[in-house]
Amino acid sequence: MNKPLILVVEDDPSVQNLITTTLKAHDYHYLAASNGQSAILEASSHNPDVVLLDLGLPDLDGVEIIKKIRTWSNMPIIVISARSEDTDKIEALDAGADDYLTKPFSVEELLARLRVTQRRLLMMQSETSSEASVFVNGQLRIDYAAGCAFLDGEELHLTPIEYKLLCLLSRNVGKVLTHTFITKSIWGSNWDSYIASLRVFMATLRKKIESKPGSPQYIQTHIGVGYRMVKV
């Protein structure tokens, strides 16, 4: 595989420098943009493998940039936000961002997020080639066509909601799904009462698929944001 090309969109020169130096040292190619207009231009003309997008840019709203990119591409987008931009981060995920990094972040965090995203990209590519009617992740196997799931070869007895939840997370493996996105997908609504139900269903689902529900292996909790299934 060629070196992945990362588009770095960040208007703060010191953060941009930290990111690009890290990328260079770890065998990535990169392009840099310091405002929204040039970000869209670079994304459309170079089709990068991953976009690292700062949400606080001088000209355009980061969420608008994501929406624009999503009109023509599913390229992975990792948003970078300051803590004060928590609601923006959730809005960005709902607009189609894959993941997020909160400032200040470490070089290790950045590299870890890139690895997760690349794995997701590889899975997406192999899925389109094999039409993926079966999903496999560690000991977990879901047969979408038959509508059943297995753990370590044993069929799981899931309620319809638990099964829907598991399918939704698996079809978006590697991606952080917000509470709003999940409740809308499952119940067609994002009322607060559904967010409470989601927590309950997540707990029962984890009891069935996680060997240690207290330290889950398959489904991560992102406090105040949502959940992500990780590729194990």
CB of 175 to Ca ion, least distance (A): 23
What's the distance, CA 23 to chain centroid?
Answer: 20
CB 5 within 8 A of CB 117: no
Choose the stretch contacting Ca ion; rule: CB under 5 A; options: 4-12, 26-34, 42-50, 127-135. 4-12
Helices 160-171, 179-187: crossing angle, 10 deg rounding: 130
CB of 10 to Ca ion, least distance (A): 6
CB of 54 to Ca ion, least distance (A): 4
Residue in 4, 56, 96, 213 binding Ca ion, rule: CB under 5 A? 56
Torsion of CA 58, 60, 61, 67, to 10 degrees: -150
Of 53 and 121, the one with the shorter C-beta distance to Ca ion is 53
Residue in 42, 54, 88, 162 binding Ca ion, rule: CB under 5 A? 54
Question: Cα(207)–Cα(27) distance, rounded to whole angstroms?
Answer: 40
Of 103 and 184, the one with the shorter C-beta distance to Ca ion is 103
CB of 221 to Ca ion, least distance (A): 27
CB of 34 to Ca ion, least distance (A): 9
Of 51 and 177, the one with the shorter C-beta distance to Ca ion is 51
Name every residue whose Cβ is closer than 8 Å to that of residue 221 and which is 6 or more positions away in sequence: 227
Q: Does 82 bind Ca ion (CB under 5 A)?
A: no
Of 61 and 210, the one with the shorter C-beta distance to Ca ion is 61
CB of 104 to Ca ion, least distance (A): 13
Residue in 11, 61, 86, 143 binding Ca ion, rule: CB under 5 A? 11
Choose the stretch contacting Ca ion; rule: CB under 5 A; options: 47-55, 93-101, 143-151, 198-206. 47-55
Question: Cα(43)–Cα(64) distance, rounded to whole angstroms?
Answer: 14
CB 31 within 8 A of CB 55: no
Determine the size of the site formed for Ca ion (CB under 5 A).
3
**Binding positions for Ca ion, rule: CB under 5 A:** 11, 54, 56
